[in-house]
Structure 1
Amino acid sequence: MAADRGAYICQSQSLNLFISQPTASKLTSMHFYAWKKGLKTGMYYLRTQAAAQAIKFSVQSQAVKEIDPVVQTVDAEVEDMNGQNCSMEDGCISCGS
């Protein structure tokens, strides 16, 4: 697919591969394949393991219940503050309210 798109893109797509057990023979074959297909970048990344491990976490349902009332209180305070935005009379040149 990278080779199919490469003909129409100036900088092309680099060849990004994942090989669990790379050998010199496999790498050579892949480089020649990419070259014959006209890819402009032979290989940018070669991965033998995942780039990063996903972070596993969870939230206790009790913690969510404890936070809900706080969020509701803050929301109510914000609503109170958002009353009238400008206390000046009509024709305010600062904000146009």
Structure 2
Amino acid sequence: MFPSLSLAAATTPSGDPTLKPGLDPSSVTPGTLGFLATLFVVVLVIFLIRDMVKRIRRVRYTAEVEQARAERGRTDGTPDGEGRFRGPDDIGRPGPGGTHGPDNR
């Protein structure tokens, strides 16, 4: 192992940009398929980042609204099923995890 490392460290790259004999330039490039795969990954990452930012922003705004309600003191003092206090603004609104949805038929 060490002789190969010392050989790799001792060799200098040639300034000649030509390929070895017998190699086709199109066989050493990623080509159209490689470009499309890279483009797909880039687009997917962009959509994932946008979705993550949207979800983080939604959580932050929800926390700010709950904090503002708590600071105003507009709660009736009774927690709902999730342990959160519901105020007069929430009367008539369904709480989280209500009786709607596919699990409650």
Output the TM-score relative to the length of structure 1: 0.29
Which structure carries more helix by proportion?
Answer: 2
Q: Which has the higher strand share?
A: 1
TM-score, normalising length: structure 2:
0.27
Flag the structure with larger Rg: 2
